[in-house]
């Protein structure tokens, strides 16, 4: 996997290339990554990359010529790479997209600044437009870093235990179960007993329920949009019947608001 990032701030990528999981993946040659200065492809002494928008209005637009030359040059070095433009108008980035990107040969990532890039860059030169969320950043650099980080960890061999990526939240469209480490008691809050029991069957069952509870409470939309397994349906039915009996017990005591209790 090869990432070539086109940016006017190549130094911003120093941290990403040199630390943590991405740094190690580069060191182990599982991926290669470079940040290329778009200013190196300008033709004037001021190395200008932006200009005023036609039609007036505030802000500046990234000029097409330096960008097109930078993309061309990156393409010659990495002909199998797709060109990806980071823009708030792009397709929302998610885990499924990260997984599909991880199977590609590489990406030439174009980081816009100012109001955006001249539209003509998008006509033929860009394969994917990607947004990291419905908010506006001042440039695509942080967005590119997020995409690189999410994709790199899915490249085979990058993570120690291959299945730690497979278990991640969203991969199976359920959130991951809760995690605990030592100490067994932190400020009066104990780790659930079952996790200390050594009983792997019970631990798996607890993790499954934890995963379902968290998804139900934090992201019910993920459950609504999922083909539930029989085990998941059974658990939801069990919760339903428990909730029903709590509500029935409550109304039998005359304490629920619908029965006119206080």
Note the residues at the interface with ligand ADE (CB under 6 A): 86-88, 131-133, 135-137, 140, 143
- Closest to ligand ADE by CB, 123 vs 135, is 135
Give phi and psi for 89, each to the nearest 5: -90, 0
In the set 69, 75, 99, 153, the catalytic residue is 153
Q: Please tell me whether residue 46 adopts helix, strand or coil conformation.
A: coil
Q: Give the integer Cα–Cα distance in Å for 89 and 132.
A: 10
Active site includes 153?
Answer: yes
In the set 115, 127, 221, 234, the catalytic residue is 115
Active site includes 53?
Answer: no
- Closest to ligand ADE by CB, 132 vs 154, is 132
- Closest to ligand ADE by CB, 108 vs 174, is 108
CA 104 to the chain's CA centroid: 17
Within 125-229, residue ranges assigned H as helices are 141-152, 162-166, 193-196, 200-218, 220-224
Active site includes 134?
Answer: no
CB of 107 to ligand ADE, least distance (A): 14
- Closest to ligand ADE by CB, 108 vs 212, is 108
Residue nearest to ligand ADE (CB): 143
Q: Give the integer Cα–Cα distance in Å for 163 and 49.
A: 44
Alpha-carbon separation of residue 95 from 86, 158, 204 (angstroms): 16, 16, 24
Active site includes 168?
Answer: yes
Structure tokens at 7: 């940016």
Where in the sequence numbering do the catalytic residues fall?
Answer: 88, 115, 153, 168
């Amino acid at each position: 996997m090869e990432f070539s990032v086109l940016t006017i701030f190549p130094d911003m990528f120093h941290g990403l290339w040199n630390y943590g999981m991405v740094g190690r993946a580069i060191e182990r040659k599982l991926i290669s990554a470079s940040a290329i200065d778009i200013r190196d492809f300008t033709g004037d002494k001021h190395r200008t990359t932006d200009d005023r928008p036609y039609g007036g209005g505030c802000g500046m637009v990234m000029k097409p010529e330096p960008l097109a030359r930078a993309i061309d040059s990156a393409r010659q070095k990495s002909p199998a790479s797709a060109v990806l433009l980071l823009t708030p108008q792009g397709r929302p980035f998610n885990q499924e997209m990260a997984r599909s990107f991880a199977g590609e040969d590489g990406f030439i990532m174009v980081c816009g600044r100012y109001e955006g890039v001249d539209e003509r860059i998008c006509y033929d030169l860009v394969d994917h437009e990607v947004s990291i969320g419905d908010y506006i950043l001042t440039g695509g650099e942080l967005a590119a870093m997020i995409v690189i980080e999410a994709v790199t960890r899915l490249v085979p061999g990058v993570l120690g235990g291959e299945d730690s990526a497979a278990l991640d939240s969203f991969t199976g469209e359920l959130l991951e179960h809760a995690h605990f480490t030592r100490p067994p008691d932190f400020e009066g809050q104990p780790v659930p007993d079952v996790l200390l029991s050594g009983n792997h069957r019970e631990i798996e069952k607890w993790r499954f329920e934890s995963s379902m509870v968290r998804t139900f409470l934090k992201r019910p939309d993920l459950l609504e949009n999922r083909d539930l397994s029989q085990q998941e349906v059974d658990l939801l039915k069990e919760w339903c019947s428990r909730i029903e009996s709590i509500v029935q017990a409550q109304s039998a005591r005359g304490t629920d608001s619908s029965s006119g209790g206080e």
